Chain A
Amino acid sequence: SAVISQKPSRDICQRGTSLTIQCQVDSQVTMMFWYRQQPGQSLTLIATANQGSEATYESGFVIDKFPISRPNLTFSTLTVSNMSPEDSSIYLCSVEDRRGEKLFFGSGTQLSVL
């Protein structure tokens, strides 16, 4: 299993500002995944972060809005840029086990944009 430390756990931000979310994993992993989950909804993959290369973004998500860093095999950040109230959501980072059968999640960041 993997233990992921994610912070901040929650934040209230003003429109137009940016927030950076950090995730630290207790073991080295090739891929880290960033998800968004709006209240009462399912998980939507934002991007996959690989160490040493640019993140791969899913349809509807762009690097200018959600820049990602992956400086090493245990750490990643997701920035939510130029926030609007529509960005209010829970953001989750995750990693998968070596067999690709299960995901482990950070505790999540609950973001509210005023």
Chain B
Amino acid sequence: NAGVTQTPKFRVLKTGQSMTLLCAQDMNHEYMYWYRQDPGMGLRLIHYSVGEGTTAKGEVPDGYNVSRLKKQNFLLGLESAAPSQTSVYFCASSYPRGGTGKNTGELFFGEGSRLTVL
């Protein structure tokens, strides 16, 4: 099992360019997430999905769009990149959070995608 795979791992964009980050998981998880990580700010949720065909906004959704056409894939799009979107992006997946018992809803993270916008 590969777990959670993100592509690309590195990308440099110019302001105004567009791009898509791809996340794939092979654990049959219902939930998938996109986080961004900036120094001193921890991980902030951009968008998430609780199932195929569904998406929802997280804490910092502006400037991003997502799609979940297949259960195993979650795409993050930047339509017009800005320098403020320079960050490390992490995709994660999980089973639905049960809160108690065996299902902790722990997140399984990909290795990250480092994006620089000039």
Chain A complexes with chain B: no
